[in-house]
Structure 1
């Protein structure tokens, strides 16, 4: 009887531990970086629709203002590395030779053809094995158009996939006399994204602006402080006064490899002690750099380093990996 009782106790404990582990795994989120950008040109509605079908937790939107103050979903303030603007409007470049979103009305932007990211000086495609440059018919779109797509798909499919917008280059916009942040926050509010209970995470690299969003503009959204430079990792305590999470470059989590095993910096554990979630960028199956396989990258960062989520160009691969775990 004792042996049977012991067996049942062990079985129950195993079951409980498995449940706890599965619960912890379910908290790790997948962020479709610029949509399903590993398969279709980044930040196109087609890329977002494909990402939605892959069941990530969130889909990302990088936001820049047009000349007529419409938030446009595009990764940079520049147009010439993802569109044919240099061909259609050659006279509209600035003194630095670049073409800026902010110099074009929304109607003008919609005439441009979007393509896979390329070097504007050489014309060479950045990721050679992705969707062929210059092929297909893809267009720029507004933030509102994307919100309508995602909310509409959530309605028609019964899913609840969230949004993960980024305020791009707020200081640049301010110097140009534009209030990007205020316009984005109003758009979010109009579409029902107002607090942490809403399925929205707002991100920004500019720490002063993200703090302003919390303190001055009194936003109650879930805020993530993006981190680019090593010295910024030392400011976690300050970030924790206004942000709910951090988005570091994944290499800031890695320390070195010893005998085939990765050692990590204290960034993740330090952030967790302060109650900050950690969502590193960017998981790319076709640009591994530090890793021999994408499986190794996912295992190392998501499991071994215990981050809380990942920005990825290949949301289906990360979703499937987490399901298997």
Structure 2
């Protein structure tokens, strides 16, 4: 009898160990964020790109948010139109003295007349990633934030999924200088669609950490937040990113945000070894979601997706990754 009980107990313990092992493996899976939708396959930030990313079964889909002249949140990568639309052809006289076309100078009706295309360098007119979707082919439009949200929530319903959104507030200081508070305008939209909750399937991100703090402390934002980290030379905002990469800066971020989104190059030293930023962030309870994985332009000198993701998981030990090729990212998560 004792031998029988011992054998049964051994079997139970073995099963529990297996379950624990598989649970541990599952917990180590990276969170996959579709960077500007399925931007490796279709023009970024279009509804078609978002729908394709949704079909990949990613965890989150990213929309970047800027404001029109009539204060409508639209989905575009930056405050300019000439990088991803045919604005120069349709409105040649609407550029500013710096030669750029600003979203905030156009109404929604005007922006809806534009065709969305793959990204180009406005100065050279060369494609950012030539092997991708043929430039100027087919027909794509610039979506609004509401259109994006309703697409994702509609697909979640019809496909029986719960894919989240990962919106970025673009250039809040610029918008404020133009008389528009993008934080105050976007937050009610997110709240209307159920995203202003601590448990909501969303991360709200921004390259200007003080804006996130203001939203948390003054505007009533309850959703999870991620402070994006850039290099000071990029001039993403007026803040000192060297400070925010430091332990003290990360401690400040941890007071109002749940994670940080660094550039991959900020996570390694000159020898390509982890530099401690991830370790410091984790010690403060912050998730780390770096950017960006591109299978056609792998970062950090890697030659294959498999090698890159092995480094992400085993050496850097990050929690997630922004990817232009989120279907491939899922294979190695």
The TM-score normalised by the length of structure 1 is 0.93
Per-residue CA deviation, residues 154-208 of structure 1 (Å, 9 max, x unaligned), is: 1111100001101100000001001211111000011111112111110000011
C-alpha separation between the residues in 1 aligned to 2:26 and 2:201? 19
Per-residue deviation, 1:267: 0.9
Per-residue CA deviation, residues 232-285 of structure 1 (Å, 9 max, x unaligned), is: 31110111111110000011112255xxxx621111111111000110001111
Name the structure 2 match of 1:212.
Answer: 214
C-alpha separation between the residues in 2 aligned to 1:13 and 1:255? 40
Per-residue deviation, 1:17: 4.0
DSSP 3-state at the match of 2:63: strand
Per-residue deviation, 1:141: 1.0
Aligned 1:160-175 pairs, distance under 5 A: 160-175=162-177
Name the structure 1 match of 2:269.
Answer: 255
Per-residue deviation, 1:18: 1.5
Unaligned runs of 5+ in 1: none
C-alpha separation between the residues in 2 aligned to 1:79 and 1:301? 33
C-alpha separation between the residues in 1 aligned to 2:224 and 2:138? 36
Unaligned runs of 5+ in 2: 232-240
Is 1:40 aligned to 2:51, yes or no? no
Per-residue deviation, 1:304: 2.7
DSSP 3-state at the match of 1:224: strand
Per-residue deviation, 1:303: 3.4
Per-residue deviation, 1:6: 10
Name the structure 1 match of 2:311.
Answer: 300
C-alpha separation between the residues in 1 aligned to 2:299 and 2:56? 25
Aligned 1:39-78 pairs, distance under 5 A: 39-78=41-80
Deviation larger for 69-78 or 292-301: 292-301
Per-residue deviation, 1:104: 0.4
Per-residue deviation, 1:221: 0.7
- How many pairs align? 317
Per-residue CA deviation, residues 49-94 of structure 1 (Å, 9 max, x unaligned), is: 0000000110001000001110010000000011110111010000
Q: 2:129 aligns with which of 113, 127, 130?
A: 127
Deviation larger for 124-133 or 286-295: 286-295
DSSP 3-state at the match of 1:138: coil
Is 1:18 aligned to 2:28, yes or no? no
Name the structure 2 match of 1:265.
Answer: 275
Name the structure 2 match of 1:237.
Answer: 251
Name the structure 2 match of 1:318.
Answer: 329
Per-residue CA deviation, residues 10-54 of structure 1 (Å, 9 max, x unaligned), is: 84464144133223124x311000000000010011100000000
Q: 1:228 aligns with which of 220, 227, 230?
A: 230
Name the structure 2 match of 1:80.
Answer: 82
More strand as a share of residues: 1
C-alpha separation between the residues in 2 aligned to 1:117 and 1:187? 27
Name the structure 2 match of 1:246.
Answer: 260
The TM-score normalised by the length of structure 2 is 0.90
Q: What root-mean-square deviation, in Å, do the aligned CA atoms of Structure 1 and Structure 2 show?
A: 1.9
Q: Do 1:67 and 1:104's aligned partners in 2 also have CA atoms closer than 8 Å?
A: yes
DSSP 3-state at the match of 1:31: strand
